[in-house]
Amino acid sequence: MNFIKKKKLRIGILGGTFDPAHLGHLTISKIAKKKFNLNIVLWIITEKNPFKKKALLSLNERFLHSKKITKKTRYIKVKFLEKKIKSKYNINLIKYIKRINPSINIYYIMGADSLINFNKWKKWKEIIKLCKIIVFDRKGFKSKAFKSKALIYMDKSQWKFIKFKKVNISSSQIRKIW
């Protein structure tokens, strides 16, 4: 990941199983890039989300599909780094990136549904010290997200809620069709 060594870099991280990746992931990545002047958006694929059942698609299928739908968007880099950093936890990924480039600005991108359980993530309080949190509205999750333990804990300067013209699709909806 040589691109991380560049000075004054602003990166977004969108983590998940991407089971499968879809237009919604692409849309929020594009909005985050534009709104926060990001140089790169990393799609960090995890082998297994601890809050979900087993993935429908294999890790390789999810990785290849993510690469395929982002191929025209050069600033999105699809990565699987769990073996390289020897961890599946976001805090360790963020620390790994910060070791490579301490001056990097990290923006962690998530949906409102993820914010609801954010306080259950490993070392979540440390994550919000190391990055800004960008929360994208998701239909049916806004009110619960605004009552989440993590959001109540966070200072207003640590997070930003983004309302946008939603793409009415989710990975779970796609899996039901398959």
Nearest to 93 by CA among 109, 80, 75: 80
Look at residue 7 in the predicted model and tell me its pLDDT.
74
Look at residue 178 in the predicted model and tell me its pLDDT.
47
Answer yes or no: are the C-beta atoms of 109 and 14 closer than 8 Å. Answer: yes
pLDDT by residue, tens only, the chain of 178 residues? 777 777 789 999 999 999 999 999 999 999 999 999 999 999 999 998 877 778 889 999 999 999 999 999 999 999 999 999 999 999 999 999 999 999 999 999 999 999 999 999 999 999 999 999 999 998 888 999 999 999 999 999 999 999 887 555 554 554 344 4
Look at residue 168 in the predicted model and tell me its pLDDT.
57
Residues paired with residue 40 on neighbouring β-strands, in sequence order: 11
Look at residue 12 in the predicted model and tell me its pLDDT.
98
Q: In the chain, what is the greatest distance between 2 CA atoms, to the nearest angstrom?
A: 44
Look at residue 175 in the predicted model and tell me its pLDDT.
37
pTM: 0.90
ω into 20 cis (within 30 of 0): yes
